[in-house]
Every structure is written in structure tokens, then in C-alpha cells.
Amino acid sequence: MFNLYMVLMFDERPFVQICCRPLFSFQPCSSSVLLNVIQMRRCSRIAHYATAQLRSETNAMLEQVEAKYLHLQNSSSEIQHLQKEISRCLQFSAGDEEIDLVPLDEFYAHAPEGVSRPEVTKTNEHEQRLARLTWEIAQRKA
């Protein structure tokens, strides 16, 4: 195995010997130096712990943002689909638009009350159209 101590101590370059001499002088350190080293290690541990906490909080927030973004994309896609369906329904032609129906005044004059239902059909165009179509088919069958 590579022995770093041997290499550094017997290196003939003066720069390496000058830099590494304090590493291999086995003199006791003062207590203030040891306290400073302990404080530095403690601060380092706290910094690593805080970094890990922030990283986990960031990941949790990122997951929330991604979930909301996915929900937004799904909602947007659903809205587009519904808009296409609405436009398709609005463009739908049942074929009854080309039928020439009896004019309204004649319809209300000649159609029986059970078919014409003036209390409903005068305020609701859809019901009026259905009643007129019902009257028209009854007239054609008779």
C-alpha cells in the first residue's frame, strides 16, 4: 500500500518539506486550537444537516408544484376536449331545419291545446319547435 508519510518525509523538494513539516511534528496542540477544530466540525455538521433539510423541503415543494402542474395540464386538456365537443354539437344539423313548418299564428289557431300548449311553448323556443314538429307529423299522417 502507498504510504503517504514516507513519500512526504523523504521528498527532496524543499516546498513539499516546508508544507508538510507541521503535519508530522508531533507536538501537542493548545486547547484553544482543539476547541476551534471541534467548533468547526460542529458547524460543518449543522451546515450539512441544514442543507439536507432544505433539500428535502425543496423536493417536497417541487413534488407539490409538479402535481399541481399535472392537474393544470389535465384540466386544460379536458377544457379543450369539451370545447371541441361543444363546437361539434353546435355544428350538428338534425335535418329538421329544412322542413317548412306551419306559420306560428296558424299553428296556434288550428293545433289542439294538448299539442300547442301555449303556456309553455310561447316562452320556450325548443318546446315550441317540438310542438310544431309534432303537429306537422300528425297533419302529414292524417
- The answer to whether residue 8 scores a pLDDT higher than 50 is no
User: Could you tell me if residue 123 is inside a domain?
Assistant: yes
User: Could you tell me if residue 136 is inside a domain?
Assistant: yes
- Please give the Cα distance from 14 to 11 (Å, whole number): 8
Residue 136, H or E segment: helix 125-141
- Please give the Cα distance from 89 to 92 (Å, whole number): 5
Residue 79: pLDDT band (50, 70, 90) is very high
pTM (global) more than 0.85: no
As given in the structure block, the three cell numbers for residue 134 are: 309534432
- The answer to whether residue 74 scores a pLDDT higher than 90 is yes
Assign 85 to helix, strand or coil.
helix
Identify the pLDDT of residue 129: 87
Cα–Cα–Cα angle for 89, 95, 100, nearest 5°? 130
Identify the pLDDT of residue 18: 59
Number of domains observed in the structure of the chain: 1
User: Could you tell me if residue 138 is inside a domain?
Assistant: yes
User: Could you tell me if residue 137 is inside a domain?
Assistant: yes
Q: Which domain holds residue 141?
A: 101-142
User: Could you tell me if residue 140 is inside a domain?
Assistant: yes
